[in-house]
Structure 1
């Protein structure tokens, strides 16, 4: 990702991080800030241990994406990484949450796909998604806006 200018000197937000990409990114020590929001305290604890063991600088906070994103995160980040649940509802919700923290100011609707890295991550026991997921690098436009802004109460996980 750094070859696209998306890490060095950037303020990064990870909205969900069960693949621990934040650790790899923080370990190269080029970002100006790394924050992880995740609902799973086990993930936050694991990242917390890596912060201690590796001397990494990562801010951690428990966050449920079904709740509206606190305004303290709005327009404070240059890049948002998201690892949504593998349902259409989960993807829509997480992408909506990812729009607000971006540092740029937007007007009204739309993201542009810059790159797609097929089979970016591989998973054991995730046959329903072909045991892999792709990484989409999206750029905002002057029309970018979140589709979901308030709290969300519909199921987003495959086991709901």
Structure 2
């Protein structure tokens, strides 16, 4: 069967990548008779670019224009077979995709199930920076995944999942398709904590959710079979610069090599200096920050971060590459970072700096912000720690 996205993209050069072509075609499927201007608004594209994409999809037989833009029967069939949209509850989908509240009354049954599941989950291990997000937060992340066109028919990875986002995504998917198992969507979890993996696995078996669990210490590179296969990933890493960089790096290695793929990063609200250091890490990894939603996540008993954290949606580019590709040996979790003295070496001139509470510079983010005192370079390798 021909791939309409590849055929259309072969004739237009888009900085945004193929993701926007997929979104435009899907808008036509979900909203028959949609206008070109409405398509442009929905895909955040200038009208001339949306028009060009529309014309290419018409040429290859996916769309037709009569009383607005519509999918052809062949185009509908392709979307339903290749992306797995056949049998979807259209009314619920449109309701969830609309602007407004992200927790809807139609999902009260899922929320009730999630609350019970959350109440029985394993106790968090604060030594590895676990915390208890609420059922509402976990479901909110699943709905966000849907709104970003990254759920139905996609390969989804959770880089750590003590928040049970995999379960929320699975339950939402099941609700959208009248509790039928969805063959085109697959959800994977990589986590060091076997307790959570066993719990998630048991729920997946009981509820018949398409979840696959992998026991993995993220200080080690992901196994080869998990690399280059996913359409998006979620992570709520340790709230250290090293933790964020490592977890995002492992997620990047798991993504397909495509522009515009989303990364759903939950992270504490931080100081301007720390935020600047994070943004430098994203730029160094070839990522763009598409959206930041403050106070998106709510946690039980996480007073240190005022029970809230932000959701940051990063997106891949042609230059995206993970910063950490080898075994990770630096301090990772909050407790480790606070008590460890580390020696960093400037990548440009070789100058060595002690980093830690008792060191010359207290934190790696501060060192990166101020740069090497000898040459001004802002990139460093950790060479030792005590």
Q: Give the number of the structure whose alpha-carbon radius of gyration is greater.
A: 2
Matched, 1:11 2:173: no
Match in the other structure for 1:33: 186
Match in the other structure for 1:84: 237
Alpha-carbon shift at residue 53 of structure 1 (Å) = 2.3
Q: TM-score, normalised by structure 2?
A: 0.39
Is the CA contact (8 Å cut-off) linking 1:23 and 1:47 kept in structure 2? yes
Consecutive unaligned residues in structure 2, runs of 5 or more: 1-144, 174-181, 260-283, 337-386
Structure 2 residue corresponding to 1:112, chosen from 288, 292, 295: 288
Deviations 1:76-123 (Å, cap 9, x if unpaired)? 1111111211111100111111111111258x8411111222222212
Secondary structure of the residue aligned to 1:153 is: coil
Higher-RCO chain (CA-CA 8 Å, sequence separation at least 6): 1
Written as runs of structure 1 = structure 2, the 5 A alignment for 1:1-150 is 1-29=145-173, 32-104=185-257, 109-150=285-326
Is the CA contact (8 Å cut-off) linking 1:9 and 1:32 kept in structure 2? yes
Aligned length: 159
Which deviates further from its counterpart, 25-34 or 140-149? 25-34
- Relative to its length, the structure with more helix (as a share) is 2
| 1: CA distance, partners of 2:244 / 2:157 | 17
Consecutive unaligned residues in structure 1, runs of 5 or more: none
- Relative to its length, the structure with more strand (as a share) is 1
Moved over 6 A (4+): none
| 1: CA distance, partners of 2:254 / 2:229 | 6
Is the CA contact (8 Å cut-off) linking 2:258 and 2:317 kept in structure 1? no
Q: TM-score, normalised by structure 1?
A: 0.91
